[in-house]
């Protein structure tokens, strides 16, 4: 069975004759007969009674006609849907973002995306960087935005933006009145950290180790699963933390948190767009990656 046979069958059934069915499908009457015979042979059923009044549907033919119409109509929609997909007129985009990209960067890019491509529906998964990459490898999302570079042979990473990671403390903390602290002072203060797998956490620990700090001696009060949870814990006096500058602009401006310079420590990192190697992104994914790059290209150290 193929679509052409079904189209011929529908035309014959609707026209009520083989000759008019042949005219409607622009083929010869003998070819029409061959298509109908092939269908009847495949199903082992007579689909049309050839009578003096024309071709009349059998009960089996009536059953086939209903389903054949739906199938052929659906097949005709496919080219239209794919054209809309290519033109980003109608598309659903599945992406993932780690903490900062998922909470701040991607939402900030949405107005620009919707303005340029109103037909896109975005479905965003938020997770830590490791889970984002796992979802990408499982083909649950088209691309991910993460705050670190990972060793994955089947993925490629494209830098799209810069970020600065800063030390924050609650308002009124003793460090709020100093111009900076030596890195060794970090060992005497409880820390609120992100969960293992966080790009922010990885970048912070790597930078502290690079300046000679034994991070294994840090006092860890809590590991929390989101930037918002970390900020609230710091404001409540649980400890201090290294966080993305993007995530604390509002709290620093309001005085709820203070930024504490650490002598000799400057932590900058890049955000990366991660995708599977050798796989073509959909037009919607290409459009949104371009929007992200355009919006954040100016954020550089």
Assigned CATH topology for domain 163-268: D-Maltodextrin-Binding Protein; domain 2 (3.40.190)
Report the C-alpha gap between 261 and 213 in whole angstroms. 16
Place of tokens 């991660």: 274
Encode pLDDT of 149-204 as tens digits.
888 999 999 998 888 999 999 999 999 888 899 999 999 999 999 887 777 888 89
Side-chain-side CA neighbours of 243 within 13 Å: the count stands at 35
pTM of this structure:
0.62
The more confidently predicted of residues 255 and 246 is: 255
The per-residue pLDDT for range 17-51, each reduced to its tens digit, is: 999 999 988 899 999 999 999 999 999 999 999 88
* Packed helices 283-296 and 106-116: angle between N→C axes, nearest 10 degrees: 120
Cα within 13 Å of Cα(22), Cβ side: 13
Neighbours of 244 (CB within 10 A): 25
Class of domain 3-86: mainly alpha
Return d(Cα 178, Cα 245) in angstroms, integer. Answer: 19
Assign domain 91-160+270-296 one CATH number from 3.40.190.10, 1.10.3720.10, 3.40.50.720, 3.50.50.60: 3.40.190.10
pLDDT band at residue 4, thresholds of 50, 70 and 90? very high
């Amino acid at each position: 069975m193929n679509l052409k046979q079904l189209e011929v069958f529908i035309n014959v059934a609707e026209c009520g004759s083989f000759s008019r069915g042949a005219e409607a499908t622009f083929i010869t009457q003998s070819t029409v007969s061959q298509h109908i015979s092939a269908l009847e042979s495949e199903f082992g059923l007579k689909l049309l009674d050839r009578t003096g009044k024309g071709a009349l549907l059998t009960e089996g033919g009536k059953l086939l006609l209903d389903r054949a119409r739906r199938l052929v109509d659906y097949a005709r929609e496919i080219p239209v849907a794919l054209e809309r997909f290519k033109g980003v007129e109608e598309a659903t985009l599945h992406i993932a973002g780690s903490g900062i990209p998922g909470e701040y960067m991607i939402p900030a890019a949405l107005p620009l995306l919707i303005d340029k491509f109103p037909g896109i529906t975005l479905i965003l998964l938020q997770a830590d960087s490791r889970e984002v990459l796992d979802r990408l490898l499982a083909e649950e999302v088209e691309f991910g935005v993460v705050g670190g570079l990972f060793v994955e042979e089947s993925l490629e990473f494209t830098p799209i933006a810069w970020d600065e990671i800063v030390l924050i403390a609650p308002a009124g903390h003793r460090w709020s009145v100093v111009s900076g602290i030596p890195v060794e002072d970090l060992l005497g203060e409880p820390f609120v950290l992100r969960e293992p797998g966080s790009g922010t956490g990885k970048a912070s620990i790597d930078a502290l180790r690079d300046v000679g700090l034994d991070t294994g001696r840090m006092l860890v009060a809590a590991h929390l699963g989101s930037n918002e949870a970390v900020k609230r814990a710091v404001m409540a006096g649980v400890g201090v933390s290294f966080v993305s500058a993007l995530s604390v602009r509002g709290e620093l401006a309001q005085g709820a948190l203070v930024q504490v310079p650490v002598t000799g420590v400057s932590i900058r990192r890049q955000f990366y767009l991660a995708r599977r190697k050798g796989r073509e992104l959909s037009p919607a994914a290409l459009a949104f990656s371009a929007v992200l790059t355009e919006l954040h290209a100016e954020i550089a150290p």
